[in-house]
């Protein structure tokens, strides 16, 4: 549903990565673009420099109702909640508000595999992209991972498969976005600092299915009760995946074998032991990726080859180093309680867990059983330390750290040969770091320094 953008007055809310990518896209197509951001100009120097080079208008320090009132279209960046009063007023005044994903989908050529879920998105998205490339399919990967979808429009062709990771934020304001294959990995509490309720958060995730039709496919987690309930209202063809139970259509792991069931017959894809990723949750991620790849028409033998050659994604249960028999793993992307649960489930015992950061409204009490079963101690870091300590009091020994360097040193001092130091914070990173990638890199750098000195 492409539209001639020449001369259109378009306002972009938010000057982060996707907002700037949208501005570039629209500017090249002759639109009259203005960007608006809450941050002061001093925090936007590099963005403003780029906008000035293109003579693109902008406002900083807030979103003026007058600017939005003149817009033919408003594109809202994922980091900006639609609940902002100024955006609600614009919507009530009849203005059209859409997301970057919605805009991109109107111009993107080829077919789309879209992947969302509370946890596992990046691993599954990257794996699907690798499998497609292994099969020789023209594939590009983007969205919430790496490149904004709008930046993939120009490189797309009618033969292209675009594999897109989507957050709940990106799935707001998507009135027509319709993936050929939609993968919904799981829905567990997250981002409750932004959403009024878990139900509101879940609905944002479910928007990935909203516009699908009978010729499309929905790949859903058979182990997620909320998705079991949802399946009856889905308009597309539902295929399931499971890490522990047989499904009639989809992919499941049972008895050490991973099997794809088309509904007309079963085919063995590979063994669980061939999966190079640690943790039971990654068997589910692989099963989801296999299902999407089979629905895209890739043979099981090629899929198995792509999985076997796949390496762990950075910051997702990433092996970092072994020092004096102590294993270090970086799972900085574990930014919610459920992700930390999945990380802990990947280890039997002897874990020293680095936990904390900026609270997202999580219930840390849900960690209690696994902490008692599998951890020796918890090293607390960041703003949420007091809340975590209060909710987990009496569960396991806890130590406070002042910095990532300090946390790694304290964890190493608590560890014995055969133990694991695991960064799986269950919190956002923005109290001390730019993002979860920055936090993960700082963890790896601290481990590297420890590797040099070897000091306990």
* Each residue's pLDDT tens digit, 147-168: 999 999 999 999 999 999 999 9
Least confident of 59-63, 187-191, 232-236: 187-191
Q: Considering the entire predicted model, what is its pTM?
A: 0.84
Chain mean pLDDT for the chain: 95
Q: Give 75's contacts (C-beta < 8 A, 6+ positions apart).
A: 10, 11, 12, 13, 19, 22, 97, 98, 99, 100, 103
- Enzyme catalytic residues: 121, 144, 191
Q: How many Å apart are CA 427 and CA 258, to the nearest integer?
A: 33
Q: How many Å apart are CA 355 and CA 84, to the nearest integer?
A: 31
Q: What would the two tokens of residue 329 be?
A: 């793993």
pLDDT (tens digit, 9 = 90+) per residue, 63-119?
A: 999 999 999 999 999 999 999 999 999 999 999 999 999 999 999 999 999 999 998
Matching residue, tokens 């790496």: 146
Report yes or no: 91 and 284 within 8 Å, Cβ to Cβ: no
pLDDT at 384: 97
Q: Rounded to the nearest 10 degrees, what angle do helices 121-134 and 280-295 cross at?
A: 40
Q: Greater confidence, 433 or 361?
A: 433
Fold topology of 9-95: Rossmann fold (3.40.50)
Closest CA to 219 of 298, 115, 84: 115
Taken in order 280, 281, 286, 292, the sign of the CA dihedral is positive
> 3-state secondary structure string, 300-331?
HHHHHHHHHCCCCCCCCCEEEEEECCEEEEEC
State yes or no: pLDDT of 454 exceeds 80: no
Backbone angles phi, psi at 260, to 5 degrees: -105, 130
Q: Are strands 73-76 and 217-221 parallel, antiparallel or unpaired?
A: unpaired
The three-point CA angle 314-316-319 to 5° equals: 75
Q: How many Å apart are CA 6 and CA 136, to the nearest integer?
A: 37
Given CATH 3.90.190.20, say whether it is the number of domain 318-453: yes
Proportion of the chain above pLDDT 70, given as a percent? 99
Q: How many Å apart are CA 411 and CA 179, to the nearest integer?
A: 44
Domains of the chain, by residue range, sit at 9-95, 104-308, 318-453
Distance of CA 334 to the CA centre of its chain: 10
Task: Compute the residue count for the chain.
Answer: 456
Give the count of beta carbons closer than 10 Å to the beta carbon of residue 107. 18
Q: Is 438 exposed, middle or buried, given 0-12, 13-18 or 19+ CB atoms closer than 10 A? A: middle
pLDDT at 2: 66
C-alpha separations of 392 from 23, 180, 378, 380 in Å: 46, 44, 10, 11
pLDDT (tens digit, 9 = 90+) per residue, 305-336?
A: 999 999 888 998 999 999 999 999 999 999 99
Backbone angles phi, psi at 100, to 5 degrees: -60, -40
Give the count of beta carbons closer than 10 Å to the beta carbon of residue 363. 11
Out of 1.10.10.10, 3.40.50.10600, 3.40.1190.10, 3.40.190.10, select the CATH number for domain 104-308: 3.40.1190.10
Q: What would the two tokens of residue 234 be?
A: 């889905």
């Amino acid at each position: 549903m492409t539209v001639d953008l020449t001369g259109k007055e378009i306002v972009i809310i938010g000057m982060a990565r996707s907002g700037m990518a949208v501005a570039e896209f629209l500017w090249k197509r002759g639109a009259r673009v203005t960007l608006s951001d809450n941050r002061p100009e001093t925090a936007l120097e590099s963005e403003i420099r780029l906008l000035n080079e293109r003579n693109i208008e902008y406002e900083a320090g807030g979103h003026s109702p007058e600017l939005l009132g003149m817009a033919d279209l408003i594109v809202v960046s994922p980091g900006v909640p639609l609940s902002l009063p100024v955006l609600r007023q614009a919507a009530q005044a009849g203005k059209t508000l859409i997301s970057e994903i919605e805009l991109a989908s109107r111009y993107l050529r080829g077919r789309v595999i879209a992947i969302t879920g509370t946890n596992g998105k990046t691993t599954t998205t990257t794996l699907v992209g690798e499998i497609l490339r292994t099969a020789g399919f023209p594939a590009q990967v983007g969205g919430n991972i790496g490149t904004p979808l709008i930046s993939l429009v120009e490189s797309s062709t009618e033969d292209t498969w675009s594999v897109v990771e989507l957050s709940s934020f990106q799935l707001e304001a998507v009135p027509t976005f319709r993936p050929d294959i939609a993968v919904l990995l799981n829905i567990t509490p997250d981002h409750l600092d932004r959403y009024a309720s878990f139900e509101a958060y879940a609905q944002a995730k479910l928007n990935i299915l909203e516009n699908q039709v009978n010729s499309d496919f929905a790949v859903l987690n058979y182990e997620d009760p909320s998705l079991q309930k949802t399946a009856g209202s889905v308009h597309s063809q539902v295929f399931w995946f499971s890490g522990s139970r047989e499904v009639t259509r989809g992919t499941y792991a049972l008895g050490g074998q991973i099997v794809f069931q088309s509904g007309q017959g079963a085919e063995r894809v590979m063994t669980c032991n061939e999966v190079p990723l640690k943790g039971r949750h990654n068997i589910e991620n692989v099963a989801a990726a296999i299902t999407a790849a089979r629905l895209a028409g890739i043979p099981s033998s090629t899929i198995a080859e792509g999985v076997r050659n796949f390496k762990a994604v950075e910051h997702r249960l990433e092996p970092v180093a072994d020092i004096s028999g102590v294993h270090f793993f970086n799972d900085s992307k574990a930014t919610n309680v459920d992700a930390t649960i999945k990380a802990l489930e990947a280890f039997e015992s002897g874990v020293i867990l680095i936990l904390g950061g900026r609270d997202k409204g999580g219930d840390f009490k849900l960690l209690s059983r696994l902490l008692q079963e599998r951890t020796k101690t918890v090293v607390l870091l960041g703003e949420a330390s007091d809340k975590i300590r209060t909710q987990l009091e009496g569960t396991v020994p806890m130590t406070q750290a002042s910095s990532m360097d300090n946390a790694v040193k304290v964890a190493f001092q608590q560890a014995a040969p055969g133990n694991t130091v695991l960064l799986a914070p269950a919190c956002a990173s923005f109290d001390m770091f730019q993002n979860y990638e920055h936090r993960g890199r700082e963890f790896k750098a601290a481990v590297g320094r420890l590797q040099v000195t070897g000091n306990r």
